[in-house]
Structure 1
Amino acid sequence: MHRRALAPLWLARPSRFADVQPRGGRIGVALLALALLFATALALASPAPPAASGDPAKRAEDQADIVLYETIVDNVRAGRDYYLAAADAQRAGHYPLKPFVTMRLPTLARVQAALPRTVVDGLLYLLCAAVMIAWWARLTSAFARPPPRLIALTLLAGGMMAFVQTDLAPFHEIWAGLLIALSLGVWKPGRWLPAVAFGLAAALIRETAGLYLLLMGGIALVERRPREAAGGAVAAAVLAIALLLHAHAVAGVVRPLDAASPGWAGQRGPGFFVRTMALSTALAVAPLWLAAPLFALSLFGWAAWRDPLAVRVLALLAAYGIVLALFGRLDTFYWGLLIAPLSLVGIAFAVDGARDLLSAAIDTRRITVTRLIR
């Protein structure tokens, strides 16, 4: 007997697993349980990034990267050329200058140098508010009632915990991560131009956000949205030109004896990805044995939401998860900030998905044929 789809519990439309059959439900429950177990075990086995001391007197050690970017901004504000200022600051801090990607694109430093610090802080808050507003509008159509909508928005705020700390404003991943979240929040089928524009802005601040542009363009191509795919290709081309100009400018200030990067073949594995996301969000206040399965549950939730936007968010999380697992080092855990804002929202979608799988798994109804003799 074919099992009928269940009515939604929180969602406005049935989840992706609403019409799964008993056998598929049992397989799905088993896979979900294994995913939660493995995420926890791998995260607990993964080494932790170096912890900050919390001593204000040791800020130069605890937030060395922030101090570096602040120094560069101050020097550019004083009239120095960005590339000369960045090269001198990185040498003084014993940072590598080879290859050229070890020096950040000049976009953020030049903008911040042109504005008072209070204006920069205000822009950061405005961008956070824009992300919240865009996703509130998007979640309104996803959930049938206000309570789960508010829970999802709270989870969004939990993913943005680090993004409202103004002392992190010089950090490139903060702005790029918010712009990626805003790009996804304003995306709709047929309304892709603002999403591409915000995605390109993110990539021009932190070039590793270029992966997001490629993902969005690739998914649009698979879904046969040629204009959106072409828009993504144009944005990727603009980023490529910016990187070529950046490489040329960096080459003009690098000296033969400048240090080279140790490389990015960290190969820390998926546990490092899970631990990184726990540290980058409100899950940092929870013990890792609880934070890890909650993050894995969020990934499941994004898979459960039957919407084209969910496909894009899940692809984003998976792609950067692979990057962190293969190339992340202990001191590059901050890459996770690029995807942190949306990393917990999936927990709200997981309620319907888990209910549907469990209901299918315990469904033992059978067809009984009774022969009637008159």
Structure 2
Amino acid sequence: MTRAAPGWNRFARVSRPVAAAVLSLMALLMAWGAAGGVGRNHVAVASPSAAHFDGLVGDHALYARIAQRVAAGESYYTAAAAEHRSGHYPLRPFVTVRLPTLAHIVAALGEQKTMFLFLLVGGAAIVAWYRRLRTEAGIPRYAPIGALFVAANLTQLAAREWLFIHEVAAGALLALALALYRPARPWLAMVIIAAALAIRETIVPVAMLFGLFALIDRDWRAAAGWLAIGLCFAGGLAAHVTTLSAVITPADPASQGWHGQGGWIAYLSFVQTSSLLRFFEGWVAALLVPLALLGWAAWRSRLGLAVLLIQLGYAALLMLFARPANFYWAMLVTPTLFIGLAFAPAALAGLARALRQPAQPVAAPIPASP
């Protein structure tokens, strides 16, 4: 019932010790998550005393108010500095103030049109992933079910409060870019990643990864394109820092830093809260997230490797640096994480077959000649 070629599954022909090691790691991660109390205890949502605006609370209210002031003709940086001070948000270092792109989009289009725009992006990502998983050579016939997991984890695009959170828009753009990425034709994905980077600077590791792939492939045109994006981003970031520095003072509060070090349990909790798993108990995330990562590890392809490295890289960032209030950083990667579940059954079957195979007998040593 599949069109799968045997070479797609990285775990189809592994040795017995490798299979045992991978399955043991999976069991350990699942048990660790299930025993660690994954859930909202590791996530800090806005308190009743946080900033309020037009039915929104906390960061949602902060960014909505800034966008409203920009729509009224005020400078983004003047508005951002004033709202950060009013809500007791830090203004130093510069990364505490978001890039102005999303605020200008909302100010120019209005809330409804902006929401419609990003719903179109999300819909395009779902369709693009369905087509990619349906037409990709060698993978199982049931793989297009992964597009449903994309749809299920882009539902925030339809909620007004998430319109103002930069990770939601950037995550939808990243999901679309990954579905469209092909090493021989990287240009459309390059443009979309540049757009995501303009909204949230934490997309920069993805651009760097694809730039590295271009160098490995010796595709100098693509490498030059990624370099151009990097230079434009550096210039825009420098302008952001310079303009922001003109409206802040030494008396403005500084961030408490990003050293959450919540580890594996915090990562699972952030993913659960930022995905469809928020409607389920924490142990569900403890089981499904390792399976999704295993599925991505199984797909032997450039795209499979790229998404696996992106997922693991952001997982490490969330485990090491994200504070409980930064849980929504996970929305950069949750739209694509659970596509890996479509590959997990074949990965587990391959590992189980490898585990059942008899151990290779050790050859007897050949006696030395007298």
In 1, are the aligned partners of 2:4 and 2:141 still within 8 Å (CA)? no
Alignment partners' CA distance in 1, 2:105 and 2:56: 25
Unmatched 5+ stretches in structure 2:
362-370
Q: Decide whether aligned partners of structure 1 residues 150 and 311 sit closer, same or farther in structure 2, where only a CA change above 3 A counts.
A: closer
Q: Identify which range, 147-156 or 308-317, moves more after superposition.
A: 147-156
Alignment RMSD (CA, Å): 2.6
Q: Deviations over 1:315-359 (max 9, x none)?
A: 111111111111111111111111110011101111111101101
Query: Quick check: 1:90 aligned with 2:84?
Result: yes
- Matched letter for residue 204 of structure 1: A
Partner of 2:15: 21
* CA distance in structure 1 between the partners assigned to 2:313 and 2:359 by the alignment: 40
- The residue number in structure 1 matching 2:57 is 63
Aligned partner of 2:207: which letter? L
Q: Paired residue for 1:234?
A: 228
Whether the 8 Å CA contact 2:131–2:144 is kept in 1: the answer is: no
Measure the CA separation in 1 of the matches of 2:99 and 2:264. Answer: 29
- C-alpha deviation, 1:140, in angstroms: 0.7
**Counterpart contact for 2:2–2:142, Cα < 8 Å:** no
Deviation at 1:223, TM superposition (A): 4.3
- Structure-1 residue corresponding to 2:321: 327
- Which range is displaced more, 238-247 or 217-226? 217-226
Q: How much does 1:222 deviate? A: 3.5
* Residue 138 (structure 1) aligns with: 132
Letter in 2 for 1:141: T
Other structure's SS at 2:197 match: helix
Q: Is contact 1:46-1:272 (8 Å) kept?
A: no
Q: 1:69 to 1:11 in 2, by over 3 A?
A: farther
- Using the alignment, how far apart are the partners of 2:77 and 2:129 within structure 1? 37
The answer to whether the 8 A contact 2:268-2:286 is kept is yes
Residues 108-257 of structure 1 aligned to structure 2 (within 5 Å): 108-142=102-136, 148-257=142-251
Match of 1:348 among 342, 346, 364: 342
- 23-32 vs 42-51, which deviates more? 42-51
Structure 1 counterpart of 2:328, one-letter code: Y
In structure 1, the residue matched to 2:68 is: 74
**C-alpha deviation, 1:365, in angstroms:** 8.2
Taking the aligned partners of 2:217 and 2:258, their CA distance within structure 1 comes to: 33
Q: Which residue of the partner structure matches residue 259 of structure 2? A: 265
For normalisation by structure 2, the TM-score amounts to: 0.89
* 8 Å contact from structure 1 (residues 29, 361) kept in 2: no
The unaligned stretches of length 5 or more in structure 1 are: 1-7, 368-374
Q: 2:98 aligns with which of 98, 104, 111?
A: 104
Per the alignment, residue 316 of structure 1 pairs with 310
8 Å CA contact 1:43, 1:274 repeated in 2 = no
Q: Are residue 306 (structure 1) and residue 290 (structure 2) matched?
A: no
Amino acid at match of 1:90: H
Which has the larger displacement, 38-47 or 86-95?
38-47
CA distance in 2, matches of 1:262, 1:61: 27
Cα 1:52–1:105, aligned 2, differ >3 Å: closer, same or farther? closer
Number of equivalenced pairs: 358
User: Is the Cα–Cα contact under 8 Å of residues 143 and 149 in structure 1 kept in the other structure?
Assistant: no
Deviation of residue 145 (structure 1)? 9.1
* CA distance 1:53–1:348, change in 2 (3 Å): farther
CA contact (8 A) 1:128 1:164 kept: no
Deviations 1:116-161 (A, max 9, x none): 3221121021111111111111111248799724521221222223
The separation in 2 between residues aligned to 1:90 and 1:53, in whole angstroms, is 16
Q: Percent identity?
A: 35
* 1:30-69 deviation digits (Å, cap 9, x = unpaired): 2332233234345649952135689xx9788973111111
- Which piece of structure 1 moves more, 166-175 or 291-300? 166-175
CA distance in structure 1 between the aligned counterparts of 2:204 and 2:165, rounded to whole angstroms: 17
2:29 maps to amino acid: A
Name the aligned partner's letter for residue 32 of structure 1. Answer: M
Q: Deviations over 1:248-273 (max 9, x none)?
A: 00011102211111111221112211
